[in-house]
């Protein structure tokens, strides 16, 4: 039994509660709402690019607005809040504490998300989720751009408050009999990602403040007309958002560390290497931000340092993959939906990582920079690894949260369609990049290869869209009408809730 199930209550009791499971539920519902909103914009983008010329979007400015809000929504309003939902539910239970360390602060951190989401959606800015100057200073129309900046500022504060809560809960509130080396790997993933947030986010907060004052004309940090340097913004942005990628993926890997041993019916192959890999990824995340900027005139020595720093993430990531495979090896695997999504996420993680090596290698990066290769790599990483791990965990926690089982057949259909669609969209975009199609364009010339691959990618996106509709229907129907779950062992994998320190396999 993982979670304490409660009888149905009025919605306002949950909304104004500070209990960690209630706040987790609010995070969960909000993040799923933004998943479908941001996903709808993705489908609009893919429909527009199905053929050259304007299809369903009338002009480039509207396309750029949709493009910006799509990226901002899915990164900041889906992935991060979803990770907070899982952390709120499970971290206090895993460290055997009654709640988060600061319950009221926890609720405040959540309630910052709806207004920031409203600012982003009502503004509908057009300067991409990078907000790259000088366009974001000189030409981006207000108040949309200013609303986006304020929305991101609020989200940043929310993330920092949440990170402080996770760090204190794990380090200071864990049960006295539990050493830090006994904390489950999912909790370790939250500790690692929270520490990254505390180091990285203040940098972007400062960059946003400088951007805002530039827009108001009182400073010129990034405005070339006033002696500023737009490249300085790029450094500040990537110093935050390259590590931020690990903030997004590390909790998803932690979720896989919960699912794979359970459904393999084996202990984790190497608990200690999992911790080491989390810590290593947290460190190397800061040593590789400038690989996004090889084309900005850095010296050869600087490029080499950052190329090596970027490649240092490979062995750390490989440790996790090896751990997963070794855990499954000779296991009595039960391929239910959570396990299928996790295994699919690992396979796509491998593909995304292989593509990332190209981006980190200087000569290859010059060939693929700012092409659809980068779009394919980033989305394969975000959708193929992070979203797959997150959705798998959503199926895993569903019976514990609702007390009912989802429809397993529909869960598998959802996985198969999403896996096929993801390959069609994002592997095709890699190839499209090799054919030279630039990213972030509203229209493209009628080159037969470009047309064919855009159509394949669009068909893949539509398959994902249909699968998500099936998922939504399954979740809604099963929440109210699904079969009652055996909350002691809803998946029939046997045993009690798994803690690594309770059952180590002697052979490992």
The reply to whether 139 falls in a domain is yes
The reply to whether 273 falls in a domain is no
- Give dist(CA 426, CA 442) in Å, integer: 18
CATH code: domain of residue 57 = 1.20.210.10
Q: Pick 355 or 423 by higher pLDDT.
A: 423
The reply to whether 108 falls in a domain is yes
The reply to whether 400 falls in a domain is no
Percentage of the residues of the chain whose pLDDT score is greater than 70: 96
The per-residue pLDDT for 13 is: 86
Query: Per-residue pLDDT for 499 more than 60?
Result: no
Digit-coded pLDDT (tens) for 215-239: 999 999 999 999 999 999 999 999 9
The reply to whether 319 falls in a domain is no
DSSP class of 180: G
Sign of the C-alpha dihedral computed for residues 276, 321, 166 and 286 taken in this order: positive
* pLDDT band (50, 70, 90) for residue 342: very high
> Whole domain around residue 42: which residue ranges?
16-251
Q: 70-84, 110-124, 352-366, 407-421: which has the minimum mean pLDDT? A: 352-366
Give the count of domains, the chain: 1
The reply to whether 411 falls in a domain is no
The reply to whether 231 falls in a domain is yes
- Average pLDDT across the chain, whole number: 91
The reply to whether 325 falls in a domain is no
Residue 326 burial by CB count (10 A; 0-12/13-18/19+): exposed, middle or buried? middle
* pLDDT band (50, 70, 90) for residue 505: very low
Report angle CA 271, 412, 327 to the nearest 5 degrees. 20
Token pair in block for residue 431: 């190839």
Mean pLDDT of 472-499: 84
Digit-coded pLDDT (tens) for 269-319: 999 999 999 999 998 888 888 888 888 888 888 888 888 888 888 888 899
Q: How far is CA 104 from the centre of its chain?
A: 25
The per-residue pLDDT for 312 is: 85
Report angle CA 231, 234, 239 to the nearest 5 degrees. 135
DSSP class of 5: -
Q: Pick 23 or 502 by higher pLDDT.
A: 23
Mean pLDDT of 135-143: 90
Digit-coded pLDDT (tens) for 32-51: 999 999 999 999 999 999 99
């Amino acid at each position: 039994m993982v979670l304490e199930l409660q009888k149905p209550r009025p919605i306002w009791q949950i909304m104004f509660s500070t209990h960690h499971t209630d706040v987790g539920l609010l995070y969960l519902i909000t993040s799923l709402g933004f998943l479908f909103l941001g996903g709808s914009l993705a489908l609009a983008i893919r429909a527009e690019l199905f053929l050259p010329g304007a299809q369903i979007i009338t002009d480039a400015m509207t396309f750029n607005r949709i493009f910006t809000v799509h990226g901002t929504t899915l990164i900041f309003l889906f992935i991060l809040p979803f990770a907070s939902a899982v952390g709120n539910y499970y971290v206090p239970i895993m460290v055997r504490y009654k709640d988060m360390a600061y319950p009221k602060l926890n609720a405040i951190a959540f309630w910052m998300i709806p207004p920031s989401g409203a600012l982003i959606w009502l503004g509908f800015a057009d300067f991409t989720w990078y907000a790259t100057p000088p366009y974001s200073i000189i030409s981006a129309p207000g108040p949309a751009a200013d609303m986006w900046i304020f929305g991101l500022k609020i989200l940043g504060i929310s993330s920092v408050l949440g990170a402080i809560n996770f760090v204190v809960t794990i380090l200071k509130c864990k049960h006295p009999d539990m050493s830090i080396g006994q904390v489950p790997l999912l909790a370790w993933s939250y500790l690692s990602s929270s520490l990254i947030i505390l180091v990285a986010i203040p940098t972007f907060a400062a960059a946003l403040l400088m951007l805002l004052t530039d827009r108001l004309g009182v400073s010129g940090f990034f405005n070339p007309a006033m002696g500023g340097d737009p490249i300085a913004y790029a450094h500040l942005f990537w110093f935050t958002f390259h590590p931020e990628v690990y903030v997004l993926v590390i909790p998803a890997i932690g979720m896989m560390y919960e699912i794979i041993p359970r459904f393999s019916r084996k202990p984790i192959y190497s608990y200690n290497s999992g911790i080491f890999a989390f810590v290593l990824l947290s460190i190397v995340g800061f040593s590789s931000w400038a690989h996004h900027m090889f084309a900005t005139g850095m010296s050869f020595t600087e490029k080499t340092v950052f190329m090596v720093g970027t490649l240092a993430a490979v062995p750390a990531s490989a440790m996790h993959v090896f751990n997963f495979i070794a855990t499954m090896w000779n296991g009595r695997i039960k391929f239910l939906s959570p396990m299928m999504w996790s295994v699919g996420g690992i396979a796509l993680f491998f593909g995304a990582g292989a593509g990332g090596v190209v981006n980190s290698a200087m000569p290859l990066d010059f060939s693929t920079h700012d092409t659809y290769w980068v779009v394919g790599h980033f989305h394969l990483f975000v959708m193929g690894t992070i979203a797959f791990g997150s959705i798998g965990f959503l199926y895993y926690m569903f019976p514990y949260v609702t007390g009912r089982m989802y429809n397993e057949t529909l869960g598998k259909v959802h996985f198969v369609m999403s896996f096929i669609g993801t390959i069609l969209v994002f592997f095709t975009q890699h190839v499209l990049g090799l054919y030279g199609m630039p990213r972030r364009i509203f229209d493209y010339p009628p080159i037969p290869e470009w047309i064919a691959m855009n159509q394949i990618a669009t068909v893949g996106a539509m398959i994902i869209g249909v699968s998500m509709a099936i998922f939504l229907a399954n979740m809604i129907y099963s929440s109210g009408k699904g079969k009652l779950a055996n909350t002691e062992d809803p998946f029939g994998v046997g045993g009690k809730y798994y803690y690594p320190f309770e059952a180590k396999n002697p052979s490992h």
